[in-house]
Amino acid sequence: MKDFNYPQNANGFPEVESCLTKPFFNYYLTTESWSMFRALYDNHLGMQDKYLAFWEKVANTFSSNPYVLGYDPINEPMPAFTSALDVVNKLWPGHYDREQLAPLYSKIYTKYMNANTENIMAFEPGQFPDSLPKDVPVIGGDVFEVGFEKPPGAEIGSVNHILNDHTYCCQMILEACDASGNPWKN
């Protein structure tokens, strides 16, 4: 993040206005982001334990609320890379979903079910390679199959799961979006 040379606020964090000058996806490519995801999946410094405790608290707090439809444990999850070869392996369609997300999601799902057996998990597959930028001609516009072989922590047909595809129209039809990635206004 320091490489962006953004002005910092009184707490030493980059100013929000500066962060908004670049596409959000750029921040996924920072060392900080990769380190955070790696710590989450590998439980470095107890990060996964703390994340599971967070979801346990959320599920226990909101399970009786009739306005809560379900829980999505990670919005736009990304792989944790450890080397250049690891990048190639994890970006292979489906690999990341099976190897990193499914085990973590299964543990989170257990927390949801312990709080209330009617809780619903809306789980997302990895955003890569499904949503490569439009300037990648080989893959741009293609959407690959997810790598989950069954709903995390359950079996096919689970009434407690929703696959949150999190697909943008530009993935399906590149011409549907303008240069900024926003859908055209018709």
Residue 181 has pLDDT above 80, yes or no: no
What pLDDT was estimated at residue 169? 61
Comparing C-alpha atoms, which of 28, 27, 30, 50 is closest to residue 39?
50
Assigned domain for 35 exists: no
CB contact at 8 A, 91 and 79: yes
Backbone angles phi, psi at 146, to 5 degrees: -70, 160
Determine the structural domain holding residue 161 and report its residue range.
53-176
What pLDDT was estimated at residue 134? 43
Q: What b/e string do you get for 4-38 counting C-beta neighbours within 10 Å, with b at 16 or more?
A: eebeeeeeeebeeeeeeeeeeeeeeeeeeebeebb
Lowest mean pLDDT among 97-111, 115-129, 160-174: 160-174
Q: How far apart are CA 178 and CA 158, in angstroms?
A: 38
Assigned domain for 86 exists: yes
Number of domains comprising the chain: 1
Dihedral sign for Cα atoms in the order 117, 100, 57, 44: positive
Residues of the chain above pLDDT 90, percent: 52
Residue 158 has pLDDT above 90, yes or no: yes
Residue 65 has pLDDT above 50, yes or no: yes
Assigned domain for 186 exists: no
